[in-house]
Structure 1
Amino acid sequence: MNLDINQIALHQLVKSGDSVLDMVLRDSLLPSNNRVVQEMMVELHRVYSAKNKAYGQFNEDSEFANAFKRCRKGNDDFLSFTRRATAGLRDELIKYPFAESGVLLFCQYRHLATEYLLIAFLNSCNSMRVDEQLDLSITHHLDINHVDIVARVDVTEWETNNESKRYLTFLKGRVGRKVSDFFMDFLAASEGGDTKKQNRDLLQAVDDYCAEANLDKEQKQAYRQQVYSYCNEQQQADECIELKQLSEALPVFNEKNLQQFSTEQGYDIADSFPADRPTLRQLTKFSGSGGGLNINFDALLLEKRIFWDAATDTLTIKGTPPNLRDQLKRCLG
């Protein structure tokens, strides 16, 4: 992966009481050309790029944004900027009952033609290690694969497009814990749009477009599959869905493409917006859970192996998966 680290700093917050977080601040930056440092950032970039993200922007009075601007202009050095930012995060985090110890990472890096500033709060995990003498010991490692307190600034977009509202991305917190709230307060940023709604509106426009074109079931599903393939590729590449680009890649019906249709019908779909994987899955799969049932199947199976009777609300499945069939046989004798 072509990833060039410019500057990277690590600091630590250590919980020493019910509402006390001590800071452990580094006196120097990490060496950007160190192999371990580079491998860590490549993995963090990969993990973050694969996650569903919300988009936002800095508030006008964001001290974090203003401090980074001073750093970019050479009026402050990167290490001092990160040390003060760590103190700011500590002051914000102690307001919440779920405050825990962790490592705060700041990294300014370039991937392809884009420059980024990534800020992540990483937890540590214990694991077992076997040494050269085949003795076991406990070691600590950063839990990068499960990082969920992280934000990234597209510095290139931020500095070149004054109208942009999506140069900042972040992960929303887990249900029941306002994890993202304190991080957004720390950054003094706000969400710049409803990603799920944009994706839902796209799906509705696709279905209505297929209906207006009088596509049969196979044609409609093939069209939905093409939409999903494009959106999935964009999501995997950490790129936004471009409505114009998507429309040009799809078949045209009734002499107007999907973008023209959505504009005529008054859909409030942005020209560019991030992909939301759970929403997009509805293009190719049916799924639902409740009452002890959890059902998930490919849309192509509907009316071939799976049939729904709306009058009786009955789902009939012809040909069960072998492992399910074996369980049923064992259970029912």
Structure 2
Amino acid sequence: MNISASNIILHSLSYNPEGILQCKMREGELPISASIDEFLTKLHRTYQSKTNKAFASFGDKTDKSPLFREALTDYMSQQLDFVRFSQKTASCLVEELQKHDFAEEGILLISKYSWTASDYLFIALLQNNHSVSVNENLELQESQHIETSKIQLVARIDLTLLARDPQSNRYISFIKGRAGRKVSDFFLDFMGAQEGFDAKEQNQGLMKAVDEFCENQALPVAKKKEVREVAFEYCNEQLKQGDDIELSVLSEQLQDSPKLEGSFYDFVSEDYQLENSFPVDRSVVRKLTKYVGQGGGISISFDQKHLGERIFYDANSDTLTIQGIPPNLREQLKRDNFADDNQKDDQNPPF
């Protein structure tokens, strides 16, 4: 599903010879066209596919960096037009960057678009990469392009959710650094926002709840697999549609399909600190129907339905036996095994 863009503007951040960060601002929006929609859709899809997103909300109005929030409030109340709002946003970002040692520069993209019945404000600092191509005269020429498949410095605000529920802790999302405080965190600082709940943690809690619910219900192995498959199909469908996991809806589906007696919703409401709804984390929910593990140079992943059919685990010897390995892996093993056999023959000639 493509997005529908209503506004987009670009500003340029760069350092002058004296090492001072400057911002070259546009004075007008880019006209919306099919190519603009396609470009923003690519950025949107890349952002949606990121598994290390975190969520946030604005802090108290007494916070030290409320300028962006004030500008956004004025924009949402139509006291600022989009161009002026974007320029104030660029100034806030430059001011925040000047407080740090981050040598960040690039193209600041600010856009408003609609997707799945919600309006979003998308703010990204993109890299303008150089490339070399060959023209029709077979001459080399340099050009610049924005890499849409690799974005890290991004924040997105769900304007619809913010207007409907200002007390929510998740109307801002951003790409979070994988370890410690990363350069991307300054997006929170310049917006005057504070991190809310952790979507990955919520998904991990859900996975734990599904397993413990099955244990609590004393389900046989076949029924447990069915529960996990139904939960995965629901989560995967929500991910495709761009919708959140709704615990009440998931509970209804578990009672309809596997025909369970107990209520999953009642079960998680007692001991699990889960939101009633939260975004799907693909990297977590896929473990509902897969066994995944890695370490010591070995990485193994297979569908749970194969355990006991094509794949057998012996706990006493701590071994896996696989019957019917993937064809491409089989060919690699045969090729390397043949090479090893030839090497042995060379080392031990028959005469």
Question: Does 2:334 correspond to 1:326?
Answer: no
Letter of the aligned partner of 1:279 in structure 2?
V
Query: Does structure 1 retain, via aligned residues, the 8 Å contact 2:9–2:83?
Result: yes
Counterpart of 1:289 in structure 2 is 294
Measured on the aligned residues, the alpha-carbon RMSD in Å equals 2.3
Letter of the aligned partner of 2:175 in structure 1?
L
Return the match for 1:89 from 85, 93, 97.
93
Alignment of 1:51-200 (within 5 A): 51-52=50-51, 53-61=53-61, 62-175=66-179, 178-200=182-204
TM-fit CA distance, 1:105: 0.9
- Distance in 2 (CA, whole Å) between partners of 1:313 and 1:186 is 52
Letter of the aligned partner of 1:232 in structure 2?
N
Query: TM-score when scaled to structure 1?
Result: 0.90
Question: Does 2:264 correspond to 1:263?
Answer: no
The alpha-carbon distance between structure 1 residues 94 and 236, as it changes in their structure 2 partners (threshold 3 A), is farther
Counterpart of 1:50 in structure 2 is 49
Letter of the aligned partner of 2:325 in structure 1?
T
Query: Does structure 2 retain, via aligned residues, the 8 Å contact 1:228–1:283?
Result: yes
Deviations 1:238-261 (A, max 9, x none): 221111111112236563321122
Deviations 1:67-105 (A, max 9, x none): 111122232232222122212212322444442321111
The alpha-carbon distance between structure 1 residues 28 and 250, as it changes in their structure 2 partners (threshold 3 A), is same
Query: TM-score when scaled to structure 2?
Result: 0.86
- Distance in 2 (CA, whole Å) between partners of 1:219 and 1:134 is 65
Larger CA deviation: 184-193 vs 119-128: 119-128
Counterpart of 1:23 in structure 2 is 23
Query: Does structure 2 retain, via aligned residues, the 8 Å contact 1:49–1:237?
Result: no
Counterpart of 1:222 in structure 2 is 226
TM-fit CA distance, 1:281: 1.5
- Distance in 1 (CA, whole Å) between partners of 2:72 and 2:210 is 42
Letter of the aligned partner of 1:263 in structure 2?
S
- Distance in 1 (CA, whole Å) between partners of 2:246 and 2:71 is 33
Question: Does 2:305 correspond to 1:306?
Answer: no
TM-fit CA distance, 1:159: 1.0
The alpha-carbon distance between structure 1 residues 95 and 236, as it changes in their structure 2 partners (threshold 3 A), is farther
The alpha-carbon distance between structure 1 residues 9 and 257, as it changes in their structure 2 partners (threshold 3 A), is same
TM-fit CA distance, 1:18: 9.1
The alpha-carbon distance between structure 1 residues 76 and 191, as it changes in their structure 2 partners (threshold 3 A), is same
Larger CA deviation: 220-229 vs 246-255: 246-255
SS in 2 for 1:138: strand
- Distance in 2 (CA, whole Å) between partners of 1:93 and 1:78 is 22
Percent identity, aligned pairs only?
Answer: 41
Query: Does structure 2 retain, via aligned residues, the 8 Å contact 1:172–1:179?
Result: no
Deviations 1:211-256 (A, max 9, x none): 2333222221122111111111212222211111111122365633
Considering only CA atoms, is the larger Rg found in Structure 1 or Structure 2? 2
Query: Does structure 2 retain, via aligned residues, the 8 Å contact 1:15–1:101?
Result: yes
- Distance in 1 (CA, whole Å) between partners of 2:105 and 2:56 is 26
Query: Does structure 1 retain, via aligned residues, the 8 Å contact 2:251–2:265?
Result: yes
TM-fit CA distance, 1:176: 6.4
Where structure 2 has 5 or more consecutive residues not aligned to the other structure, the ranges are 342-351
Letter of the aligned partner of 1:38 in structure 2?
D
- Distance in 1 (CA, whole Å) between partners of 2:166 and 2:198 is 20
- Distance in 1 (CA, whole Å) between partners of 2:130 and 2:179 is 25
Larger CA deviation: 124-133 vs 315-324: 124-133
Query: Does structure 1 retain, via aligned residues, the 8 Å contact 2:12–2:106?
Result: yes
TM-fit CA distance, 1:6: 2.6
Letter of the aligned partner of 1:6 in structure 2?
S
SS in 2 for 1:251: helix
- Distance in 1 (CA, whole Å) between partners of 2:43 and 2:276 is 29
Query: Does structure 1 retain, via aligned residues, the 8 Å contact 2:130–2:142?
Result: yes
TM-fit CA distance, 1:46: 2.4
Letter of the aligned partner of 2:333 in structure 1?
L
- Distance in 2 (CA, whole Å) between partners of 1:19 and 1:270 is 46
Deviations 1:127-182 (A, max 9, x none): 44343445443322111111121111111111121332111111112446703211
Counterpart of 2:40 in structure 1 is 41
Larger CA deviation: 13-22 vs 155-164: 13-22
The alpha-carbon distance between structure 1 residues 312 and 50, as it changes in their structure 2 partners (threshold 3 A), is same
The alpha-carbon distance between structure 1 residues 75 and 249, as it changes in their structure 2 partners (threshold 3 A), is same
The alpha-carbon distance between structure 1 residues 240 and 254, as it changes in their structure 2 partners (threshold 3 A), is closer
The alpha-carbon distance between structure 1 residues 3 and 97, as it changes in their structure 2 partners (threshold 3 A), is same
Letter of the aligned partner of 1:267 in structure 2?
Y
Where structure 1 has 5 or more consecutive residues not aligned to the other structure, the ranges are none
